[in-house]
Amino acid sequence: MSRSGTSGRHPLADGHPPDWASGWGQDRYGAFVTLTVGDATQRMRWIAPGSFRMGSPEDEPGRWEDEGPGHAVTLTRGFWLFDTPCTQRLWDAVMADNPSRFRSPDRPVDSVSWNDVQGFLERLNGRIPGLSLGLPTEAQWEHACRAGTETALYSGAIVIEGAKNAPALDAIAWYGGNSGVGFELDDGHDSSGWPEKQHPHTRAGTHPVGRKQPNPWGLHDMLGNVLEWCADGRRDYTADAVTDPRGPETDVAERVLRGGSWIFDARSVRAAIRYRFAPDGRFAYVGFRCASGPA
């Protein structure tokens, strides 16, 4: 479906990036800007408004029932989105601490709750004039992840050969089948007993961001590495077409997480997979990425 949607205007058409941007440009994936905080610089990709098909078809391997029915979604506004999960370097530059289990500056921050992320956003937005970051809605997240595709992965179909063995994931995602390959930290999770791994390994965890192939819009780690918090809660899908949908957003509503993680089975690392946790939940396989403006 169309990426241009209701407005095909280039986000940098007037020759000026947003006031908060420290840099900007265009490459084969599209327009980008950079955000700099202290010694941390984060690239953000432009996600144009448009329409896409949300959810998975009934015959998709590994499908869960809450991924359907598939339905048309239209997003009427474009947004900037981090091209990787938020790194520990950026989190520490804003919050002056690091809650992560798997510590290194270029890895995604992990073990942060949805409520923790709200504190990060408040502090970061207050620090840079004109900046208004939030979390993407679930619909915005899936639109960005799919990048114009309708297959299980943004790289194509998935064939699941074992619980943690789907060869198509290897090039694009850190998941249970490969997250111990090249893992160098001393405090890795014991993966020796994991069944049906694509590659042999005994210690696993997160990996530095941006090491796997990006999707067609230049976004890395949309699948695997860490699950990512969304702004809204889980809505029940219907077959009806919807515009700018949002799930529940009460203070106590469980929030959706998307994308799968380093510890997950292959079936749970697909574009349509949905999880939901309480907003105060913290896990070593959970992180986030930011979108421009209140989502």
Tell me the CA distances in angstroms from 102 to 49, 141, 194, 231, 285, one per residue in order.
35, 25, 19, 25, 10
Tell me what the mean pLDDT of segment 90-103 comes to: 98
pLDDT digits (tens, 9 = 90+) for 40-62: 999 999 999 999 999 999 999 99
Q: How far apart are CA 22 and CA 106, in angstroms?
A: 19
* Residue 278: other Cβ atoms inside 10 A: 12
Tell me what the mean pLDDT of segment 118-147 comes to: 97
Residue 118: is its pLDDT beyond 60? yes
Q: How far apart are CA 145 and CA 223, in angstroms?
A: 8
Residue type, 124: L
Q: What is the pLDDT of residue 176?
A: 98
Residue positions counted in the chain: 295
Q: What is the pLDDT of residue 199?
A: 98
Tell me what the mean pLDDT of segment 141-151 comes to: 98
Q: What is the pLDDT of residue 8?
A: 56
Q: Strand 133-134 to strand 50-54: parallel, antiparallel, or no bridges (unpaired)?
A: unpaired
